[in-house]
A and B are shown apart, each in its own frame.
Chain A
Amino acid sequence: MEISNVWMPLLGGMMLGVASLALLALNGRVAGISGILSGAFGAKGDRRWRWAFIAGLLLSGAVAKAMGALTFEYATQSLPVILLAGFLVGLGTVIGGGCTSGHGICGNGRLSVRSIVATGVFMAFGILAAVLFH
Chain B
Amino acid sequence: MNHSMARFAVAMICGPLFGAGLVVSGMADPAKVLGFLDVSRMAQGTWDPSLMLVMMGALSVVVPGYMLGIKPRIDAQQAPLCEARYHVPATKALDRPLLLGSALFGLGWGLVGICPGPALASLASGSPAVLGFVLSMVAGTQVARLLNEARNTKMQGAPTVSEPS
Question: Interface on A for B, CB 8 Å cutoff?
Answer: 5-6, 8-35, 37-39, 41-42, 46, 48-50, 52-65, 69-74, 77, 79, 81-114, 117-119, 121-131, 133-134
Question: What is the interface residue range for chain B against chain A?
Answer: 35 or more
Q: B31-63: which residues lie under 8 A (CB-CB) from chain A?
A: 31, 34, 37-40, 50-51, 53-63
A/B interface sample: 5 pairs, CB < 8 A: A92-B140, A93-B101, A106-B165, A122-B106, A130-B111
B154: A residues at CB distance < 8 A: none
- Cβ proximity bits B119-147 to A, threshold 8 Å, 1 near / 0 not: 11111110101101111111111111101
CA distance A48 to B9 in the complex (A): 10
CA distance A39 to B55 in the complex (A): 25
In contact, A97 and B123 (Cβ under 8 angstroms): no
In contact, B165 and A97 (Cβ under 8 angstroms): yes
Question: Interface on B for A, CB 8 Å cutoff?
Answer: 4, 6-31, 34, 37-40, 50-51, 53-63, 65-67, 69-71, 79-89, 91-94, 97-117, 119-125, 127, 129-130, 132-145, 147-148, 161-165
